[in-house]
């Protein structure tokens, strides 16, 4: 059994628990997720099964989309609603226009300091494990990218205005830290009061399956929630080759590609005439208009 599951993780479940649930339902040993979601956060958690686990690295690097709510005027030690309140400040002097100016200033490449409640490792220990022991250490800022920000609704009511927004960001971005940093820049503090992941790569929340739906399908031996491996990496362009070339790839050989124009050093997926994923790798050229494909992962 190989493929991807667009799993809708509920709040309260860890990403590890989500993978364990899928292993138990499908009675498989090989399964993994493609990017941790905090236990309190719901949303899209793509899970790879069988050979698809070898494709997880490509999904991990894809942009993530979230819907979030920021509450101004309150700062917490976890930067979200689960933490201890550190400060409460008056927001009456902050206008909606000033908020928008600061909010959109976070578009593009920014630096974030990972929160102590994150899963980042320091000296082999995860930060949240140190935080549980009451230990706080200095963390180096990390560069992340905010590709898109869009304000959906503002509840500009004192003492603590709230704003709901959509964000598309790079791997490793902390939305709670984004909210915290917006509050710091405004001088009043802020925390993340709601978060749901709406998309990872080509996996969208509108097509996600709940645990209950998966359980019901498995009971009637219907596995339409398990997507083919190539659908999980649909952002990687496809080259279809004949059965002979597919066989060469299965045996680890490089092949000459059908005459066409290809981008060298770009990742491609190779499928056979039956639309089965054979390999993922890069194209290179030794002579003009003669292109070779060198597999980095083979799935025959």
Would you please indicate which residues are annotated as catalytic (active-site) residues? 38
Cβ atoms of 69 and 50 within 8 Å: the answer is: no
Residue 284 and residue 291 in contact, taking contact as beta carbons nearer than 8 Å: yes
Question: Is the distance from CB of 7 to CB of 47 less than 8 angstroms?
Answer: yes
Tokens at 4, concatenated: 């991807």
Give the pairing type, strands 238-240 and 267-271: parallel
The DSSP secondary structure of 204-241, one letter per residue, reads: EGGG-B-HHHHHHHHHTT--TTEE-HHHHTTTS-EEE-
Secondary structure (DSSP) of 232-295: HTTTS-EEE--HHHHHHHHTT--EEPPSS---TT-EEEEE-TT--EEEEEEEEEEETTEEEEEE
CA atoms of 148 and 136, how far apart (whole Å): 32
Q: How many residues does the chain have?
A: 300
- Edge to edge, the sheet with strand 277-287 lists 238-240, 267-271, 277-287, 290-298, 255-256
Q: What is the rounded CA–CA span in Å between residue 139 and residue 148?
A: 26
Instruction: Record the tokens describing residue 93, joined without a space.
Output: 């002097």
Kindly report the number of other CB atoms within 10 A of residue 260's CB atom. Answer: 9
């Amino acid at each position: 059994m190989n493929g991807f599951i667009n799993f809708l993780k509920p709040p309260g479940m860890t990403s590890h628990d989500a993978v364990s649930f899928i292993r138990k339902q499908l009675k498989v040993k090989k399964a993994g997720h493609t990017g941790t979601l905090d236990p309190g956060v719901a949303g899209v958690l793509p899970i790879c099964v069988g050979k698809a686990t070898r494709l997880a690295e490509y999904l991990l690097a894809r942009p993530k989309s979230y819907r979030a709510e920021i509450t101004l005027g309150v700062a917490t030690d976890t930067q979200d609603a689960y933490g201890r309140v550190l400060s409460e400040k008056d927001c009456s002097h902050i206008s909606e226009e000033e908020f928008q100016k600061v909010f959109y200033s976070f578009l593009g490449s920014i630096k974030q300091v990972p929160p102590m409640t994150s899963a980042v490792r320091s000296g082999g220990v995860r930060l949240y494990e140190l935080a549980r022991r009451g230990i706080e250490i200095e963390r180096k800022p990390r560069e992340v990218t905010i590709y898109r920000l869009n304000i959906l609704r503002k509840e500009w009511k004192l003492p603590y205005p709230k704003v709901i927004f959509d964000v598309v960001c790079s791997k490793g971005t902390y939305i709670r830290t984004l909210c915290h940093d917006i509050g710091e820049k405004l001088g009043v503090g802020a925390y993340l009061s709601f978060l749901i992941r709406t998309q990872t790569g080509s996996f969208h929340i509108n097509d996600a399956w709940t645990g209950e739906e998966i359980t019901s399908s498995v009971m009637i031996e219907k596995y339409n929630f398990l997507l083919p491996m190539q659908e999980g990496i649909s952002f990687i362009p496809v080259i279809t080759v004949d059965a002979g070339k597919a066989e060469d790839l299965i045996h680890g050989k490089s092949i000459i590609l059908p005459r066409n124009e290809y981008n060298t050093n770009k990742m491609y997926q190779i499928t056979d005439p039956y639309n089965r994923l054979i390999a993922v790798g890069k194209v290179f050229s030794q002579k003009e208009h003669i292109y070779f494909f060198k597999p980095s992962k083979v799935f025959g």
